[in-house]
Structure 1
């Protein structure tokens, strides 16, 4: 039995050793294949079979250490991978600050890895570039905001400077380039307009100086130059029109002086030839009033006075006639004519105190009369001016003539008559007659013309330049009609006198004139002969 027990004991030991060896072999195999959890389980079984064996315990300790290291590495790898994945995702979404943070975590997990370091460097470069671009954007935005503000306030020089600052930040920016180009155009226009203004102002200054000095031709040239710079300006245009009127008035005045002088000389010479010395002196004096610088009238007066000295009785008679005429005018209250007759008497006998005293007296009375007549003169003149403003030119001329009759020495009515005549001439539509011809008394002379457009008929005026070639007043009928039919007419008074006279008729106010297609005008003098030099159809301005 002991032997059996011993055999069983050794058999048990042998079986245990075999199991141990198998467990160790299995464990070593797993260990060598790096299957550490399976190897550890086998070593634990072996250690359980032989707890006293150091080998499996050492192997278990080694595996535990290995497994611990592997877990730590797994956590590092996992953390690294997650950080790289998050970094790449943020980078793709251009979330560079978040991406850089993740790549820095990856470097903390694995400092030897180059990829996250490269990405960090790349991101740093991007962030620097973004900061640079942000700075550019801010600089550009500020410059554009300032420039737009200046531009809207029309501060173009400052605006251009700010747009150039914007272009320094963004050289190819289309908006800023366009605004700079636009401003260059505006500044060019401003410079050009300033040059025009300067040239215009210089021309106006030159013209005004010449006008004030009554140098009308240089003034006209300078105002015309100013209009060339600014054609729409009213001031130089008005000045040109005024100078034209002044020049026309000067020409008319000069012509009136020439005509008046020539007629006075003709009349005086005729009186002298007939021996009518008083009348001759009066006409020579009249000629001298027209042209004080002319010596001929003075010489002829001296000649007459010389003759009158030789013919004392006749000179006395001439003096007496002048005094009688002057006294008569004086008694009638016609101080103007009285003044002229007393002046003639003084001219004949300058040593006569009566004539001189009466001349002084009547001059005072005449001046007082002029003052009293000024009220009526101004009233008639105001009515004439009102007609003129309303463009009723025939009414204006009639009242200007009345005003001139009230105060013959006043020049304004004559100027306005000349101005109206100029307006009528400037707005001429057609000349019905331009050939000077005498129409005898009670003769109907018709002048054809093409019918006028309906839209101008109500504005029509007729200008007739005519001269009374008879020695008395008479009437002149101005008729109109179509073909063989007479549609209407108007009667004018023709005063005596050999000077040519302008007759202006507001024919457009007659219903039959603007309602019918008239094609002739007729002149019919009744009571005397008339010379007609011009018949012109015009319109108001």
Structure 2
């Protein structure tokens, strides 16, 4: 009987020693198990009973903290998914205060600060691009304005203001194209008429106007080249006729046939 008591005493002391060690290491579940083993040996022992009550209180507080932490993290994650960044930061800060050793809230706050910095940069780039686009639009530099409005959508996709301006500019450019087409074909009509009448000096002006309206069109350029060739040939023919008259006049003058020489010079 005495040996059994000694064995129980050793088991009790061992359970208390191990329980205290786990308790001090904050492994409360394991400590609780060992203290319960000690109470099976000594039902009225104050130390393990007190520690079990203390552990129950600690675990209850931990469970409450765990729930508050989980709720704060869930709230922060939900707010972040809705892009409510400032509110999400406050939720993560609350979680960090509840469990300072947890790294997740701090990492999420860093992520949000990065998103806010990127959003600020995008907003600044958007504003400056819109400003440049508006300035170009006011001076009717529509191609530059269009490119700038399109660029602004890289910073704020789907933004209504630049989208409406792009539609407006496309309408203006389409109207300008229709007007240019009408002016072009009218210039070509008049130029072709003058060309057929061999009024090349007037015709070339209309072809040049048409070419300025549509630089890529081949017809006015071909006609301008043809007119220059015709005019050059005319000049060469006139020069040849002039030289012929001068040579004839000089010969008549040398032969002292002055009346015919005068007529030849006048003909030149």
TM-score (norm 2): 0.51
Gaps of 5+ in 1: 1-130, 273-278, 322-541
Q: Distance in 2 between matches of 1:284 and 1:239?
A: 39
> Partner of 1:268 in structure 2?
137
> Partner of 1:288 in structure 2?
150
Larger Rg: 1
Select the residue among 84, 99, 103 that pairs with 1:230.
Answer: 99
1:203 CA displacement? 3.6
Select the residue among 125, 131, 142 that pairs with 1:256.
Answer: 125
Q: Conserved in 1, the CA contact under 8 Å of 2:132 and 2:148?
A: no
Structure holding more strand per residue: 1
> Partner of 2:168 in structure 1?
299
> Partner of 2:33 in structure 1?
158
Please show how residues 11-410 of structure 1 align to structure 2 within 5 Å: 141=9, 144-145=12-13, 147-148=15-16, 151=19, 152=21, 154=27, 155-168=30-43, 171=44, 176-205=45-74, 207-208=76-77, 211=80, 213=81, 215-217=83-85, 219-270=88-139, 272=140, 279-291=141-153, 293=160, 294-312=163-181, 313=184, 317=212, 320=215
Q: Compared with structure 1, are the counterparts of its residues 320 and 197 closer, same or farther at alpha carbon in structure 2 (3 Å cutoff)? A: farther
Q: Compared with structure 1, are the counterparts of its residues 286 and 318 closer, same or farther at alpha carbon in structure 2 (3 Å cutoff)? A: farther
Partner SS state of residue 233, structure 1: coil
Q: Conserved in 2, the CA contact under 8 Å of 1:144 and 1:163?
A: yes
Structure holding more helix per residue: 2
Q: Deviations over 1:438-459 (max 9, x none)?
A: xxxxxxxxxxxxxxxxxxxxxx
Partner SS state of residue 95, structure 2: helix
Q: Distance in 1 between matches of 2:214 and 2:57?
A: 81
1:246 CA displacement? 0.4
1:280 CA displacement? 1.9
Provide the alpha-carbon RMSD of the alignment. 3.8
Q: Distance in 2 between matches of 1:196 and 1:145?
A: 33
> Partner of 1:51 in structure 2?
none
Q: Distance in 1 between matches of 2:84 and 2:173?
A: 41
Ranked by relative contact order (alpha carbons within 8 Å, sequence separation 6 or more), the top structure is 1
Q: How many residues align?
A: 175
1:208 CA displacement? 4.4
TM-score (norm 1): 0.28
Q: Compared with structure 1, are the counterparts of its residues 242 and 194 closer, same or farther at alpha carbon in structure 2 (3 Å cutoff)? A: same
